[in-house]
Amino acid sequence: MLRLLTPARLGPITLRNRVVKAATYETRAAGGLVTEPLLAWHRTFAAGGVAMTTLAYCAVAPEGRTFRDQIWMREAALPGLRAFTAAMHDEGARAAIQLAHAGWFADPRATGTRPLGPSATFSPHARTWARAMDEDDIARVVAQFARAAALAVEAGFDALEVHLGHGYLLSQFLSPYNNRRRDRWGGSIENRARLPREVLRAVRAAAGDRAAVYAKLNMDDGFPGGLVLADALAVARLLEADGTVDALQLTGGHTGKTPMYLLRGESPLPALFARDPSFVRRTALRVLGRLMFRDWPFEEAFFAPAARRFLAAVTTPLMLLGGLDRLASMEAAIAEGFAFVALGRALIRRPDLVNAFAAGRAAESGCTHCNACVAAMGYEPTTCVLRDAPG
């Protein structure tokens, strides 16, 4: 039997196999709520055999959003969230939810307020200066994560993913690029990790033993002056010592600086330029886009070399993501000691991939890494142009 298809424990829950649908932005949450199209989209992954599918980027507060139509955690969202978990459970899959705050990367057009961050730095995405958080802001954010976690557990989610990656707020505190503080929240990696650790303690306390808790952790930001691997390893050791996480999902790249470090493959810049209705943003993309969306050629399992360092450093179960398209590379990852693999574009290309592996109908997803699905984010429902093209 394929190792990939054997059951595995994630904290208090058991997953039917070792394939997790990673959080990938869906653009199906009109009004900041679960919609039928959003539910149906995730149901295809659950019916296709994944052990768990992840509802992407649910902001813990309205000011933490990156798009206007993005789920944010509140009582009004509970009916839809309950329907989501019930639908995934009906297909035999577990349901995870990604809890996040955009911080410096929040869009004032969506939130109606100035973004905040660890330090007063200019955000190209927000086109304004972020306000440096004070002690009251920090306490409020910790409480917001705890409240969001409690709502997620009430809605029936089996696992809570806390976003410590990709240049969002908790990642900003970890990154020297965003975090230039000289108080107890900045400077050493222990200080920079203080807020993520406090958030995870609060989420763990809210979840208890009713749901698994894991962190999506940047291994590095992908540019000089950002988070580096040695510091990320230190964070992993600290989280393990805290006992707050049941797993770490290892990732990399900074949304505001190096998005292609996470994605690899073809740049979505031409498609982004064609879609964006704003003359100002199109002009900014024309001027700055090539700096952000620099070429990073695709390689199979491109995060594996860095992730192996974590296998040697901690005993916490690890989820490997990043360019896993072939059954052989996924099997190799499990054989090496990774507890799970997390797939994004591979499943967008072929939602039934796990069932196809089990039946011997496929050995790879067929994703070409064109990143057209990425270019649709925030403009239209995320989809695969190869799979869903007319004709």
Q: Residue written as tokens 């209705």? A: 277
**Separation CA 76–CA 94 (nearest Å):** 23
Neighbour-count burial for 356-372, b at 16+ CB within 10 Å, e otherwise: bbbeeebebbebbbbbb
Residue written as token pair 């989820």: 319
Contacts 24+ apart (CB under 8 A), 15-18: 15/51, 15/52, 15/94, 15/340, 16/51, 16/92, 16/93, 17/49, 17/50, 17/51, 17/354, 18/51, 18/334, 18/339, 18/340, 18/341
Q: Can you tell me the distance from the alpha carbon of 46 to that of 28, in angstroms, rounded to the nearest whole number?
A: 17
Taking alpha carbons only, the member of 28, 8, 25, 24 closest to residue 16 is 8
**Of 168, 177, 214, 261, which one is the catalytic site residue?**
168
Catalytic status, residue 214? no
From start to end of 101-204, where are the E strands? 116-117, 122-123, 128-129, 131-132, 159-164
Other CB atoms within a 10 A radius of the CB of residue 2 amount to 15
Structural contact between residues 153 and 211, judged by C-beta atoms closer than 8 angstroms: yes
What burial letters (b/e) apply to 303-342, b meaning 16+ CB within 10 Å? bbebbbbbeeebebbbbbbbbbbbbebbbbbbeeebbbbb
Q: What are phi and psi of 246, to 5 degrees?
A: -90, -15
Dihedral (CA of 213, 248, 29, 131) sign = positive
Cβ-contact 318, 338 below 8 angstroms:
yes
In the block, which residue shows the tokens 């557990």? 153
Please give the full DSSP string across 224-283, using - where no structure is assigned: TTS--HHHHHHHHHHHHHHT--SEEEEE--BTTT-HHHHH-BS--HHHHHHH---HHHHH
Q: Which residues are catalytic?
A: 168
